[in-house]
Amino acid sequence: MKVNAMMMAMLVKAMIDGTMTCRELAAETGLHYLTVLQYGKAMHKAGAAHISGWELDSLGRCSIRIYRLGPGKDAKKPTRTRAQVCADRRARKRDAELLGLKT
């Protein structure tokens, strides 16, 4: 069996549950993170997968997609109001000033 076919099979098997991020899928399969992103987007575009949830990135934004195999309705991306975004920014700036970091 070819290596690429085996990696794709491992990716599909890991995506069935629908609880792993692309980083976790990359670690599980041994594929590069960008390759997993491309496969996920391609499967989503073809209707073979849907977005089952979102996770926060390191900046606190909901930008990490969690794909699940099979057709389905995409999970709605949580939105924040401008007031929440500004409040978070002010809190980060205040914390940086307390630590003596320049912002």
Average pLDDT over residues 8-24: 87
pLDDT tens column, 31-86? 899 999 999 999 999 999 999 999 988 877 888 999 999 888 999 998 888 998 89
Q: How many residues does the chain have?
A: 103
Give me the domain span that covers residue 57: 3-75
Q: Residue 27: what pLDDT?
A: 92
Confirm whether pTM is higher than 0.85.
no
- The closest of 26, 72, 19, 31 to 49, measured between CA atoms, is 72
DSSP secondary-structure letter at 58?
A: T
Please report whether residue 93 resides in a domain: no
* Alpha carbon 80 to chain centroid, angstroms: 18
Q: Residue 3: what pLDDT?
A: 63
- Give the pLDDT band of residue 5 (cuts 50, 70, 90): confident
Q: Residue 38: what pLDDT?
A: 92
Q: Residue 1: what pLDDT?
A: 47
Please report whether residue 92 resides in a domain: no
Please report whether residue 89 resides in a domain: no
Domain count, the chain: 1
Please report whether residue 80 resides in a domain: no
CATH number where 23 lies: 1.10.10.10
Q: Residue 102: what pLDDT?
A: 67
